[in-house]
């Protein structure tokens, strides 16, 4: 399937591109600091299998936190909702994505939701497989299947860069191990998590994943059920309540769609029953969301009445 350039969309992209000047690219994962601040691309994938784009849409980026939604969908299929939510909560947090503070205040200790790092690390630890290799194969294969592209892989340099610097995420893991939220080898978990965060694709491929969620788990081309309906629904609900971290409330007011951001500058947006949206704009606001990406979504939501509310 080809994605077509769209002049209306390109006009909006050209209008908001300069906003990127006000933000900055993530640098706490050293390899991410090489991103070009002014990149901005968007693809909108219709559930009837057509697609439009604007900007440098073939440019690849790593999913980072967007992977949390996808791996949650897999873990829910692997373990069922009772098991997953026995260990990870469903409530939004007003804290930054990597915060450790709430882990100690809830008793028994339980990460508040699967979209913050603590919850996402716990979810990754639930992926089924006899070995680390098998777990990773299953995670990657699931993402490949959502994109319908077996060439999807991960950025080795970004994964390594995060693995070498992720002291805070390691601390979250050790805290959760002590409190029986997770078990198993922490370094194995860190390797799996940093690889999942480093899975790479362009905004068209991300938009296709959005289209799967927009159609309640159905592949927009083949009609195959790639994600069970109830799991697609859970993922979209978390995206509304927690997908943009501690900016989720404002985003729900201003845009009003399920969305998930990552510190690489990607945003996965879903207009239920209509479109999947993939955005890449690496310049971030102070909460870690793509500054131009959010602006793009605000403009589009107003113009095309995207809000689900
Ligand atoms: O765990 C981390 O810190 C990164 N791999 C992902 C964080 C992230 O994308 C948060 N996004 N806004």
**Where are the chain's structural domains?**
4-61+201-303, 65-197
Can 4-61+201-303 and 65-197 be said to share one CATH topology? no
pLDDT of residue 297: 98
Three-point CA angle 123, 129, 135, nearest 5°: 65
Look up the ipTM and state it.
0.95
Judge contact between 128 and 136, C-beta under 8 A.
Answer: no
The whole model's pTM is what?
0.97
| Mean pLDDT across 251-278 | 98
Q: How far apart are CA 90 and CA 13, in angstroms?
A: 35
Q: What is the pLDDT of residues 130-156, one digit of tens each?
A: 999 999 999 999 999 999 999 999 999
65-197: CATH class: mainly alpha
| Mean pLDDT across 268-292 | 97
Closest ligand 1 atom to residue 197 Cα is 5
CATH number of 4-61+201-303: 3.40.710.10
Count CB atoms within 10 A of the CB of residue 91: 11
Burial of 179 (0-12, 13-18, 19+ CB in 10 A): middle
As annotated, the binding site for substrate includes 65, 117, 162, 169, 193, 245, 263
Token pair 């589009």 in the structure block, residue: 300
Closest ligand 1 atom to residue 287 Cα is 12
pLDDT of residue 243: 95
Calculate how far, in angstroms, residue 115's C-alpha sits from the geometric centre of ligand 1: 10
Residue 102: pLDDT band (50, 70, 90) is confident
Calculate how far, in angstroms, residue 109's C-alpha sits from the geometric centre of ligand 1: 22
Q: Does residue 150 sit in helix, strand or coil?
A: coil
* pLDDT of residue 293 exceeding 90: yes
């Amino acid at each position: 399937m080809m994605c077509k350039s769209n002049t209306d969309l390109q006009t909006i992209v050209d209008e908001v591109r300069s906003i990127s000047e006000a933000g900055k690219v993530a640098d706490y994962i050293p390899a991410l600091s090489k991103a070009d601040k002014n990149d901005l691309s968007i693809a909108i994938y219709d559930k009837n299998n057509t697609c439009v784009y604007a900007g440098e849409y073939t440019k690849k980026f790593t999913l980072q936190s967007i992977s949390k939604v996808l791996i949650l969908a897999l873990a829910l299929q692997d373990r069922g909702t009772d098991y997953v939510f026995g260990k990870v909560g469903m409530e939004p947090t007003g804290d930054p994505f990597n915060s450790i503070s709430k882990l100690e205040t809830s008793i028994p200790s339980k990460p508040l939701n699967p979209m913050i790092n603590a919850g996402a690390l716990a979810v990754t630890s639930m992926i089924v497989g006899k070995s680390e290799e098998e777990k990773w194969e299953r995670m990657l294969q699931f993402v490949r299947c959502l994109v319908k592209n077996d060439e999807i892989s991960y950025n080795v340099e970004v994964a390594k860069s995060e693995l070498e610097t992720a002291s805070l995420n390691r601390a979250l893991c050790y805290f959760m191990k002590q409190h029986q939220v997770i078990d198993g080898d922490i370094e194995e978990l860190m390797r799996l998590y940093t690889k999942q965060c480093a899975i790479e694709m362009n905004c068209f491929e991300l938009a296709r994943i959005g289209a799967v969620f927009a159609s309640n788990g159905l592949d927009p081309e083949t009609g195959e059920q790639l994600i069970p309906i109830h799991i697609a629904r859970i993922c979209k609900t978390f995206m509304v309540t927690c997908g943009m971290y501690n900016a989720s409330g404002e985003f729900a007011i201003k845009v009003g769609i399920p969305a998930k951001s990552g510190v690489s500058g990607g945003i996965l947006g879903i207009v239920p029953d209509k479109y999947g949206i993939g955005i890449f704009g690496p310049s971030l606001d102070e909460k870690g969301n793509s500054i131009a990406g959010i602006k793009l979504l605000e403009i589009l939501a107003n113009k095309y009445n995207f809000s689900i509310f």
